[in-house]
Every structure is written in structure tokens, then in C-alpha cells.
Chains A and B, each alone.
Chain A
Amino acid sequence: MEPTLNRPLRRNFMKGLLGSTSFWLASGNAHWAEALAAEAAAHPYQPVFFNGPEYQFLEAACERLFPGDHNGPGAKALGVAEFIDRQMQTPYAHGENWYMSGPFQQGPANLGYQLPFVPRDLYRKGITGVEHYARQQYGKDFAALSALHQDELLTALEGGSVQLGEIPGRVFFEQLRTNTLEGAFADPLYGGNRGLGGWLMLGFPGARADFMDWVNQEGASYPIGPVSISGETA
């Protein structure tokens, strides 16, 4: 089943405070982070697939991959962990559109993914493996590490030098990176891209889907803020 489209909007606060492009673009408005955090704190999401420590890892790791910075909100403020948890309840996470028949035989990387694991397996096994590695290397859980060490660990995963039990670190890293970016930029319908913050950073207009007036305005910047499928604007 596709996720339902009838998710009630619960972001009146967001819409009020952060409801304009100019807010995001104006310098000195650094409180967006607190505003988003306050919103999240007021309505804490209860993960369904991930357990507490797993979810802590997810929040910490996603934030390093897509950090809040001078460009705008990061993964945490955008609700990326919530997005990933919700995705874990879709056919995608069960690998329902992947060919998952054996035998599973490894080959050259350019012939593609050949593991017997679907996204839910990759997360469960991958997070266990990363935490094991973090405790081994740094003596702490991932979420408790300094940003520097977290980045060091993620770099090691990306570089392919770490094996997380049955899962190559690189495979887990790519899964996490892909889902993090999806959560930052998908329609807020799916739990991420809170306040359309991802789209605002890129200047993407969202679900308006009409640029008849903007086919060629000689390189001028498109001036209208985004709208989501359900009608949330920014």
C-alpha cells in the first residue's frame, strides 16, 4: 500500500513562523533551528520500525550527512529520521520491487547489488554493525561521539574499508545517504522536508507544476516559494 495522502497537517506553528521565503533568506534569522526543534519537541514522533537506540543513531548519522548549516536546516530539523522510519513500513523497505530470488552470488561491483537483504535488513544489521564498530574504535555509541569522530566513521564506511558483519559498510552508507536525501527533499507528505525546508534551500517550487511563464526569463531567479501536494506553502 502507498502511504495515505490524508495525513493531517500539524504544522500551523511552522506555517505561521516560517511561512515565507523571505524569512529563510533574510540574514540574522538563525532561530529557524530552534523553531523547528521546538516543533519537533512539541510533537515527538514515535518510531515504529527502529528501536530507541537505533533511532538515536539514525538521527545523529543523518544530521552528519545532511547537517544544518548556513544553507538551511539539516536532517534533524527536516524530520529525515521520521521519514526513514515511515519508509520502513512501505513495500520498498520489504524489497517488494527488487528481484530477491537466489542464488545470491557476488560479482564485480558494476553488475549491481547482489545481497540477500532488503532495506529493513540493511538498517537492522547495518546499525548493529556500526554501533559495534563505534564502540570498538571509540568506546562509545555513535550518537555520543563528537561530530569529528562521527564524520571519521562515516568516511570510513563510504570509503569501503569497513565490513559491518554481513553488510559491507559502503552498502549501508549508500542506503543511508540515499534515504537521507530522499527525506530532505521528498514531499512533506512522507514525514521529511519539514516546513518545505529542503525545497526552500534549493529553490524548488514543489507540487505547483506550472512554469508556463518561466520557460525563459533570461536567467532570472524564480520568485515564488514552494507548495506541497497537500497545500502547505512556504
Chain B
Amino acid sequence: MKWPLFLACLLAIGFSAEAEAQEADSTILEKGRYLAAASDCAACHSIHRKPEYSGGVSFSLPMGKIYSNNITPDPEHGIGRYTEVQFGRALREGIRRDGSTLYPAMPFPSYARLTDRDIHALFVYFREGVKAVPVSPPRNEVTWPLSIRWPLIFWRWAFAPTPQKAIANTAGEFTDPQLARGAYLIEGPAHCGACHSPRAITMQEKALTARDGSLYLAGGSAVDGWTPPSLRQEDRTGLGRWSEEDIISFLKTGRSNTGSAFGSMTSAVLHGTQKLTDDDLRAMAHYLKSLQPADRTQTPWVYDPTITDQLHKGDLSSQGARVYVDRCAACHRTDGKGYPTVFPPLAGNPVIMQKDPVSIVHIVQKGASLPAMTAAPSSITMPAFSPKLTDQQIADVVTFIRHAWGNNASPVTAEDVKQLSKSMPPPDMADDALSLN
């Protein structure tokens, strides 16, 4: 290293240390609040119309039902007795104050990347900025022997990175500070991979960062009845045709010209990403756009007007076309282009072209709602069609939209639809769990 640069670094370090010392408590607290939003803590630890962060959100997992903890500073029911070191270990390593291991529903393999400064800010926020609530969540309903927590230690040893390694890995290779910031947010606090990366049979994410290979954010398996799509650059099933502006708009408002949030993502936007600064959202979008496609075989999607022309003439001979015209076209239009950003397009929408049709079938069955966001105060609802459409009709119409306008995903059968109605997602905004204006 040349002397002037070394001196500059020293000066910079000195300056930042001083700045930190001067950082008022309130600033740290606000930073913690911001990081709690970026980390989407509320999505799992808060229930609408109940005190913030008091836990009790249920997770139906193969091994049973577990409930999120109260993370308010209440000493009995919450985390009031955690020291900052214990708090950091829980977040980054999944180790509770009593030494036992958290279920990996808590994304500590991602939070492992959180810097000490960010852990400090979060600790201050959860200590000073959150109201203590003396309630405990219901007991977990995990049957023996899976209810024994000690084997989780081995899971943790095997699959969760140490904070040192994780931080080094994510901070590692970027020369572009915007990319570095995007990587930190997405791989760390925002823990996008927890849903959007595939998991192995032993439940660990197959890749935790972009450096771990192209499986990172390549699309996850169904969570709560929704299949998280790839966030990489696949043309048809990923974000290949989404601009940075589309991604920013999506994360800020839950809606973009290319698609709208649904399922668990709605809550991630509501509690999390909408609260991030435009600079951070741009960094995240910039980073996502840098992820090469995992599936390099996809031919570029091109709009095909054949079906549009047929429907315009009243030709409903294609299977599923009549159902589409009767129930869907009102909002999504006969040209499949929808009315972005109000009613999302179906033509070219990666969610429609996922290999696994579970999300799209479930949306048709139970509907979806977008609640008001700060930057997009309008609530938008799609009604549920499962009582109105038979399994066969849903299969026909989903097959139709997976084939129309240049889309090219596989057909769906009535039997598929019937099976999927068993994995119906839990209640969300459409069921008044969130208020709609």
C-alpha cells in the first residue's frame, strides 16, 4: 500500500470512530429501527392489530407448528435480559441466551453477515425503541423426538457460517460500493435467500451468497403455499426483463409495471423494504441485476398477439379462454397486459411462467390483496375465485394464461388444482388480517 493511501485510510478510520462516538443515542436508535425494517423482523414477530414485536406468528413446518418469540424488551416474556453479546449471538449464530439453538426459521445464517455496528444499533433499538409487552407466544407444537432442540446444534455447526466468515464473504469482492451495499442488504439483513434460494433436504440454503454459486436466489420451494421465484436474471422466470426502476418500485410500493407483490412478499414489503431509502433500494436492485441467470436455456420472452386478436374478435375457442374473459380480463385485459401498476400484467410475468404453478393457482383460488404502502396508499384487491370456479375451470384458465401472449409454461390439470387446494396459504390481507382502505 502506498503511503498516501494508507494515511487516508487511517484518517478515515479515525474520523469514522470519532463520528461514531458522537453519534447520538437517538441516531443509533433510529438506525436500529431502520435495520429492523431492513431485516423484516416484524414479518415474523408482529401480528396485525397486536403489539409490535410481541411474537406469536405461527409457522407450519413439516415437523410441526412453531411460534415466533416475543422480542420486546420485557424481561420475563421477551428479550429484556439479553446482553448485547447474547443478542448478537442469537441474531448471527442462532444461539439463545440459555445456550440452546433457535429453529432455523430464524434466518441467522443470513444475519451472520450483520456488522457489529449494526448489531449494536439493533440492540439499542430493541432495548430503547420498542415497548415491552408481557405476553408469551403459544407453545410450539413439535412432536417428540423432533421437539428436542439439541440436534439443532449439529445443524448449526454444519450449515450456519460463523459471523467472521460471513462478514468477510459478503464484504469481500466488490469494488463498486453500490454493489457492496446491495450485497450486504440482500445477503444479510434482508435475508432474501431464506425464501428465494433453494434448500437442501436438510433444510439449509444451498447458497448463502452470490459467491456460493448460481443457486443463490435461484428460486425457493413453496413457503406457506407460495413459491418464491428466482431473483436472478432468467428472462422468463427471473428478473431478466425487470429494470432497476421496476425492482425499486416493487420493493417500495409492492407494485411495479412488471408485477405486484402477493403472498408472503406483501408482508416483506409492508414491514420491510418500503421503509428503506431510495439509495438502499437502488443498491439492492443494482445487485440483483448483477446476478447471472441460473437457467441459461430460456429463450427470450416476446409478446405474441395471437390470443389477444382472438379474444378481441370474441373467439373463445382456446381452452380456458371463456373463463379468462368471464373472470380475469376485466382487470388483466384480453391482451394480458393488465393495468400496471394497479392490476399486474400476466403476459411475460415471471410468476406465471414458474415451473411450479402453485403460486398462480393459489392466487386464483384465494385472491390476493395489496395493502396501503406509504408511497402507494391505494389498497388493491383480487377476489378469491375458488368457490366460483371449479378445479377444472381453474386448471383451464391457469393453463390458458401460462400459454397465452408468448408465455410458455406447462399445463395444469384439475387434479393438480385439487391437490393444491390442500396447501392453501394461511389467511392474509384478503382475509382482513390487514386493513384495506
Chain A residues packing against B (C-beta within 8 Å): 6, 208-210, 212-213, 222-224, 227, 229-231, 233
Q: Does B387 contact A (CB under 8 A)?
A: yes
Question: In the docked arrangement, what's the CA distance between A233 and B321, Å?
Answer: 13
B350, chain A: closest CB distance, angstroms: 25
Chain A residues whose C-beta falls within 8 Å of the C-beta of B210 in the assembled complex:
none
Chain A residues whose C-beta falls within 8 Å of the C-beta of B330 in the assembled complex:
208-210
Taking a contact as CB atoms under 8 Å apart, the answer to whether B316 and A212 are in contact is no
Q: Does B97 contact A (CB under 8 A)?
A: no
Taking a contact as CB atoms under 8 Å apart, the answer to whether B334 and A213 are in contact is yes
Question: In the docked arrangement, what's the CA distance between A233 and B387, Å?
Answer: 15
Question: In the docked arrangement, what's the CA distance between A222 and B316, Å?
Answer: 13
Chain B residues whose C-beta falls within 8 Å of the C-beta of A213 in the assembled complex:
311-312, 334
Taking a contact as CB atoms under 8 Å apart, the answer to whether B334 and A227 are in contact is no
Question: In the docked arrangement, what's the CA distance between A229 and B327, Å?
Answer: 9
Question: In the docked arrangement, what's the CA distance between A212 and B311, Å?
Answer: 11
Question: In the docked arrangement, what's the CA distance between A225 and B132, Å?
Answer: 60
Q: Does B275 contact A (CB under 8 A)?
A: no
Question: In the docked arrangement, what's the CA distance between A208 and B321, Å?
Answer: 13
Return the contact of A233 from the options B311, B322, B329, B333 (Cβ within 8 A): B322
- Chain B residue nearest to A221 (CB atoms) is B314
Return the contact of A208 from the options B311, B325, B387, B393 (Cβ within 8 A): B325
Return the contact of A210 from the options B316, B329, B389, B393 (Cβ within 8 A): B329
Taking a contact as CB atoms under 8 Å apart, the answer to whether A212 and B314 are in contact is no
Question: Which residues of B283-337 are within 8 A (CB) of A?
Answer: 311-312, 314, 316, 322, 325-327, 329-330, 333-334
Question: In the docked arrangement, what's the CA distance between A179 and B388, Å?
Answer: 27
Taking a contact as CB atoms under 8 Å apart, the answer to whether B388 and A231 are in contact is yes
Taking a contact as CB atoms under 8 Å apart, the answer to whether B329 and A6 are in contact is no
- Given A213-B334, A231-B389, A208:B312 Cβ within 8 A: no
A206, chain B: closest CB distance, angstroms: 9
Return the contact of B334 from the options A209, A212, A223 (Cβ within 8 A): A212
Chain A residues whose C-beta falls within 8 Å of the C-beta of B312 in the assembled complex:
213
Taking a contact as CB atoms under 8 Å apart, the answer to whether A231 and B334 are in contact is no
Chain B residues packing against A (C-beta within 8 Å): 311-312, 314, 316, 322, 325-327, 329-330, 333-334, 385, 387-389, 393
- Chain A residue nearest to B333 (CB atoms) is A212
Taking a contact as CB atoms under 8 Å apart, the answer to whether A231 and B326 are in contact is yes
A13, chain B: closest CB distance, angstroms: 16
Taking a contact as CB atoms under 8 Å apart, the answer to whether A231 and B314 are in contact is no
Q: Which 9 A-B residue pairings sit nearest by Cβ, starting from the closest?
A: A223-B314, A210-B330, A231-B388, A227-B326, A213-B312, A210-B329, A209-B330, A208-B326, A224-B314
A225, chain B: closest CB distance, angstroms: 9
Return the contact of B388 from the options A209, A212, A224, A230 (Cβ within 8 A): A230
Q: Could you write out 21 A-B pairs with CB less than 8 Å apart?
A: A208-B325, A208-B326, A208-B330, A209-B330, A210-B329, A212-B333, A212-B334, A213-B311, A213-B312, A213-B334, A222-B314, A224-B314, A224-B316, A224-B322, A227-B327, A229-B388, A230-B388, A231-B326, A231-B327, A233-B322, A233-B326
Known: A212-B334, A213-B312, A231-B326. 16 other contacts (CB 8 A): A208-B325, A208-B326, A208-B329, A208-B330, A210-B325, A210-B329, A210-B330, A212-B329, A213-B311, A222-B314, A224-B316, A224-B322, A227-B326, A230-B387, A231-B389, A231-B393
A32, chain B: closest CB distance, angstroms: 21
Chain B residues whose C-beta falls within 8 Å of the C-beta of A230 in the assembled complex:
387-388
Question: In the docked arrangement, what's the CA distance between A233 and B327, Å?
Answer: 11
Question: In the docked arrangement, what's the CA distance between A78 and B389, Å?
Answer: 23
Chain A residues whose C-beta falls within 8 Å of the C-beta of B326 in the assembled complex:
208, 227, 231, 233
Chain B residues whose C-beta falls within 8 Å of the C-beta of A227 in the assembled complex:
326-327
Chain A residues whose C-beta falls within 8 Å of the C-beta of B388 in the assembled complex:
229-231
Chain B residues whose C-beta falls within 8 Å of the C-beta of A229 in the assembled complex:
388
Chain A residues whose C-beta falls within 8 Å of the C-beta of B393 in the assembled complex:
231
- Chain A residue nearest to B388 (CB atoms) is A231
- Given A213-B311, A231-B388, A224:B325 Cβ within 8 A: yes
Chain A residues whose C-beta falls within 8 Å of the C-beta of B385 in the assembled complex:
231
A7, chain B: closest CB distance, angstroms: 11
Chain A residues whose C-beta falls within 8 Å of the C-beta of B387 in the assembled complex:
6, 230
A188, chain B: closest CB distance, angstroms: 13
A4, chain B: closest CB distance, angstroms: 12
A85, chain B: closest CB distance, angstroms: 25
Chain A residues whose C-beta falls within 8 Å of the C-beta of B311 in the assembled complex:
213
